[in-house]
Amino acid sequence: MTIAAHIRSTLALPNFVVGKYLEDLSDSELLVRPLPEMNHIAWQLGHLIAGEHFHISQVAEGAMPNLPEGFAERHSKDTAASDDPQDFLAQGEYLELMEQQREGTLRTLDAMSDEQLMAPSPESIRYFGPTVGAVFAGEATHWMMHAGQWAVVRRKLGRPPLF
């Protein structure tokens, strides 16, 4: 199995978990915070989508689909405290952007050799992983970490555990 094939397989689980956790939530429920100082799902989705776009763009400039104008800024740390529904997208819009970015990630990943994936990651994102491959694999971890927080929101809303 190539490094790319292994990473591709690790990226499948977050897609499944995210889909299951969100499938029965309304747009308004995406704005529920697990605790007052924690980020709601809508902001987290934007943060994850913008983060994946940024990270993969750092290892393969120009490879990712464009995000809507101002999307990353709308989901920055400066906007995390907002509970205004007008500041966020509908769930379907987030899922469409997530799918577009993930397709870009997988297309970029599949084009890389094991040697390219073992190369050091750019200094600008070394915090995310020491190699290019670790940056790709880090997306799975990042998405799963946030999705774990959504389980708390689901329980707060009275939903049963899924896993």
**CATH code at 116?**
1.20.120
Is 142 inside a domain boundary? yes
Q: Which of 112, 89, 113, 100 shows the shortest CA–CA distance to 15?
A: 100
Q: Which amino acid is at 49?
A: I
Is there a contact between 72 and 50 (Cβ–Cβ < 8 Å)? yes
DSSP state of 79: G
Q: What is the number of domains present in the chain?
A: 1
Report the mean per-residue pLDDT for the chain: 97
Segment 96-113, tens digit of pLDDT: 999 999 999 999 999 999
Is 81 inside a domain boundary? yes
Question: What confidence category does residue 77 fall into, taking pLDDT thresholds of 50, 70 and 90?
Answer: very high
Residue 157's pLDDT is 98
Q: Which of 51, 62, 53 shows the shortest CA–CA distance to 111?
A: 62
Domain that holds residue 13: 3-22+39-156
DSSP state of 40: P
Is 31 inside a domain boundary? no
Is 161 inside a domain boundary? no
Segment 12-56, tens digit of pLDDT: 999 999 999 999 999 999 999 999 999 999 999 999 999 999 999
Is 125 inside a domain boundary? yes
Is 133 inside a domain boundary? yes
Alpha-carbon distance of 127 to 9, in angstroms, equals 23
Average pLDDT over residues 117-143: 97
Residue 56's pLDDT is 99
Average pLDDT over residues 139-145: 98
Is 47 inside a domain boundary? yes
Q: Which amino acid is at 72?
A: A
DSSP state of 127: G
